[in-house]
């Protein structure tokens, strides 16, 4: 069975270790002092620079010759930022302040080299994010949330163990129907994880009825936001009022989200051009109900291992365990056609070496010897025609003298039908 989807080619080939925590010093005008807050991991320099190692960047993205990025970030006054943010077609409030400005500058200055590739990666994922958000009737500006969560890397893993584009913890992922085990990690599946994230965001809005608090809760958990509200003392439900009582990273989370929305809409004004993409517009998906390995697909379908991994980041070991349950395989349309045409031959290719054994025989002689050597039950043999002491000694891993001693045999003659002790 083949299903055709119109989503764009997706995926990243980075094996994504957890990156060191980065911090930023901001001035809080309300408190009249500077403070150090954590930078969301998706905004870390290491995550942004990791784009250069991404499969799609190295193979399929190039600088756009029709658009020339500048080396320096132009200066704009406060009113310009306020006006631009106010013009975004957003339901979620996007106010300007000095913290927001620092995160915008972080993208436009420190992340300037990586930003064209991040913007191009948006072309892979935004249609998927929008469909999921639309299915749950959520504000579409939430599609920029994975930019600060994972830098649009589906295999990103945080220090705390959150994974995928939307950075789900395992417990939350399973609560929202994503499978996570040694073979598959659906947190890395762009489609399934996007629908799970939309469902989770919808549930959080049911708790807080305020999108800034929903974003904070998505980052640090609803209990921490409720604690911050309680600590503020007035049951205030304004993110900017409870800001000092939130965890360090969460204090930067909403400003970073506002900055991501700004950057995605106003990069041209800052002299930045997205990279060009040579990818086809769509991929096909085949649903497999038999076990198949990436090595088999590479050998039979004319694709590289990197491409298969990039398009199917949810499979951790290269095994698609279709026999456990029907599973999706995404490839370019011509590769899907080759997969279907290969028929059984694709499943049979090197199957004896690529898959774990389903049955195995135990070497009973060795097992019996081991048991006897540990003081287990004695072993006996019923003498058959042609048996010799030498042959029995070899069969039971003992010696002729040992068998003679156990049975009081002086010579080498054996009586057919007699039961003798061999261990």
Residue ranges of E strands in 217-338: 276-277, 284-288, 291-293, 319-321, 327-331
Among the residue ranges 46-60, 251-265, 383-397, the one predicted with the least confidence is 46-60
DSSP character string of 143-211: GGHHHHHHTT-TT-B-TTS-BTTTTB-HHHHHHTT--BSSSBBGGG-HHHHHHHHHHHHHHHHHHHS-H
* Digit-coded pLDDT (tens) for 20-74: 556 656 555 555 666 665 656 655 555 545 544 454 455 555 555 566 677 888 9
Average pLDDT, stretch 293-318?
A: 93
Structure tokens given for 133: 């958000």
Q: Is 101's pLDDT higher than 90?
A: yes
Arithmetic mean of pLDDT, 209-236: 91
How close are the terminal C-alpha atoms of the chain, in Å? 59
> Cα separation of 328 and 12, whole Å?
17
CA of 406: how far to CAs of 8, 280, 299, 374, 386, in Å? 77, 78, 59, 18, 21
pLDDT at 272 over 80: yes
CB 308 within 8 A of CB 347: no
Please give the pLDDT value at position 5. 35
- CA pair distance 391, 281, nearest whole angstrom: 71
CA distance 327 to 324: 9
Asked whether residue 208 carries a pLDDT value surpassing 70, the answer given is yes
pLDDT at 139: 97
Closest CA to 34 of 293, 234, 251: 251
Higher-scoring residue by pLDDT: 376, 15: 376
Q: Which of 1, 2, 22, 19 is nearest to 249 (CA)?
A: 22
Which tokens sit at 157? 């893993």
Share of the chain above pLDDT 90, in %: 48
Q: Which of 241, 191, 187 is nearest to 216 (CA)?
A: 241
Question: How far apart are alpha carbons 126 and 143 in whole angstroms?
Answer: 6
Helix 333-342, helix 294-301: angle, nearest 10:
100
- The residue whose two tokens read 């784009």 is 51
């Amino acid at each position: 069975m083949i299903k055709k989807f119109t989503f764009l080619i997706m995926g990243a080939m980075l094996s994504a270790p957890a990156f060191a925590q980065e911090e930023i010093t901001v001035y809080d005008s309300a408190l009249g002092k500077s403070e150090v807050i954590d930078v969301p991991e998706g905004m870390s320099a290491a995550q942004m620079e990791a784009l250069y190692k991404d499969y799609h960047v190295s193979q399929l993205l190039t600088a756009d010759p029709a658009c020339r990025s500048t080396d320096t970030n132009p200066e704009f006054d406060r009113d310009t930022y306020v006006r631009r943010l106010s013009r975004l077609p957003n339901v979620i409030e996007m106010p300007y302040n000095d913290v927001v400005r620092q995160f915008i500058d972080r993208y436009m200055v420190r992340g300037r080299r990586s930003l064209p590739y991040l913007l191009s990666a948006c072309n892979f994922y935004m249609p998927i994010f929008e469909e999921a958000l639309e299915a749950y009737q959520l504000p579409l500006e939430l599609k920029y949330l994975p930019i600060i969560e994972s830098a649009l890397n589906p295999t990103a893993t945080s220090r705390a163990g959150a994974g995928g584009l939307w950075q789900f913890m395992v417990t939350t992922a399973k609560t929202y129907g994503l499978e996570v085990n040694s073979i598959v990690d659906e947190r890395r599946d762009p489609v399934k994880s996007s629908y799970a994230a939309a469902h989770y965001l919808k549930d959080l809005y049911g708790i807080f009825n305020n999108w800034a608090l929903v974003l904070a809760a998505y980052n640090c958990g609803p209990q921490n936001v409720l604690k911050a509200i309680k600590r503020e003392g007035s049951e205030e439900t304004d993110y900017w009022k409870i800001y000092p009582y939130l965890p360090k990273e969460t204090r930067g989370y909403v400003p970073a989200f506002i900055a991501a929305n700004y950057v995605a809409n106003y990069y041209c004004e800052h002299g930045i051009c997205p990279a060009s993409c040579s990818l086809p517009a769509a991929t096909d998906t085949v649903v497999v109900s038999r076990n198949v390995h990436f090595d088999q697909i590479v050998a039979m379908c004319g694709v590289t291992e990197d491409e298969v991994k990039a398009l199917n980041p949810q499979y951790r070991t290269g095994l698609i365990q279709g026999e456990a349950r029907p599973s999706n395989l995404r490839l370019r349309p011509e590769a899907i056609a080759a997969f279907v045409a290969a028929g059984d031959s694709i499943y049979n290719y090197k199957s004896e070496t690529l898959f774990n054994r389903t049955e195995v025989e135990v070497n009973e002689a060795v097992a019996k010897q081991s048991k006897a050597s540990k003081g287990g039950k004695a072993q006996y043999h019923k003498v058959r025609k042609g048996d010799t002491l030498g042959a029995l000694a070899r069969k039971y891993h003992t010696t002729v003298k040992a068998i003679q001693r156990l049975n009081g045999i002086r010579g080498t003659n054996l009586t057919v039908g007699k039961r003798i002790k061999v261990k």
